[in-house]
Amino acid sequence: MFGRRKKKGAADDAAGEAEQVVDSVDTEADVDEDVAGERVRLEPEPRPDGPWDSSEVSDAAEGRVDLGGMFVPGVEGMELRVEVAGDAIVAATVVLRDSAVQLQAFAAPKREGIWGEVREEIAGGITQQGGIVDEVEGPLGWELRAQVPVQLPDGTGGFQVVRFVGVDGPRWFLRGVISGQGAVQPQAAGLLEQIFRDTVVVRGEGPMAPRDPIVLKLPNDAQMVPEGVQQEEAGSRFSGGMGQLQRGPEITEVR
């Protein structure tokens, strides 16, 4: 079931760090049409360990929170936040102690993976802002480990460490943004990585343009914990970020 959160804690700090990264990266980089036309389009790679398409699991709801377009694994002690763009819920953030992973699913071409192209866009945006990006092959495949420029509470400049992970599926793409201790300490990231792997994406059969976000919904038994709506600066929806999103209701799973 879902219950109202009663006090602030390390989970809030981790989620706040994730949102700080979201607000700080702008990847509206222009891609030259000629270069884009010459890009080699690769089919999605096999996903023997997930994330899963809804057609690949017998019961997506077993052990997972039903968000409509995604089924997110439920684990003990987690806090689940949803974020909105306009009237639509398009992202979910799982907070575990002092780490967080933000999940968002997008429509993708039927036979083309887009994660390689998206990585380039994210890296270009961060680099333009003075950040540092390394592309490495991690536990979830190719990912970006970035130091993103942010403004510290005292007004000075600093850097936020964050990991951008992604997997191409059949007609969808799932992106994750890992922040907090999970971005800097491998031993703290294992459970977040498993949540990403065990997420089920429900693309649906309706027509969608590539890169359109797959809309989510609140669970039927969720109790919302509203917070002050915060206006966000517009930005690319792949910016590591939901630059254009507003902070939405929060729900906490009690187990």
* pTM, to two decimals: 0.74
Residue 170 in any domain: the answer is yes
| Residue 129: exposure state from Cβ atoms within 10 A (0-12, 13-18, ≥19) | middle
Kindly report, residue by residue over 193-249, the tens digit of the pLDDT. Answer: 999 999 999 998 889 999 999 999 987 766 555 554 443 433 333 333 333 333 343
User: Listing from the earlier edge strand, what are the strands of the sheet with 157-169?
Assistant: 2-3, 246-253, 79-85, 88-96, 99-107, 172-180, 157-169, 141-151, 132-138
Q: What is the pLDDT of residue 39?
A: 47
CATH of the domain at 87: 3.40.1000
Residue 35 in any domain: the answer is no
Domain coverage including residue 17? 2-29+54-253
Residue 147 in any domain: the answer is yes
Give the whole-number percent of the chain exceeding pLDDT 90.
51
**Rounded average pLDDT over 74-103:** 90
Average pLDDT, the chain: 77
**Rounded average pLDDT over 114-120:** 94
Residue 39 in any domain: the answer is no
Kindly report, residue by residue over 152-162, the tens digit of the pLDDT. Answer: 888 888 999 99
Residue 149 in any domain: the answer is yes
Q: What is the rounded CA–CA span in Å between residue 196 and residue 251? A: 19
User: Which of 46-50, 78-82, 105-109, 218-222 shows the lowest mean pLDDT across its residues?
Assistant: 218-222
Residue 230 in any domain: the answer is yes
Q: Tally the domains of the chain.
A: 1
User: Which of 110-114, 116-120, 140-144, 181-185 shows the lowest mean pLDDT across its residues?
Assistant: 110-114
Kindly report, residue by residue over 20-39, the tens digit of the pLDDT. Answer: 444 444 333 333 333 344 44
Could you say which DSSP state residue 225 is in? B
Q: What is the pLDDT of residue 208?
A: 92
Task: Specify whether the CB–CB gap between 158 and 152 falls below 8 A.
Answer: yes
Residue 37 in any domain: the answer is no
User: Above 50 in pLDDT, residue 64?
Assistant: yes
Residue 34 in any domain: the answer is no
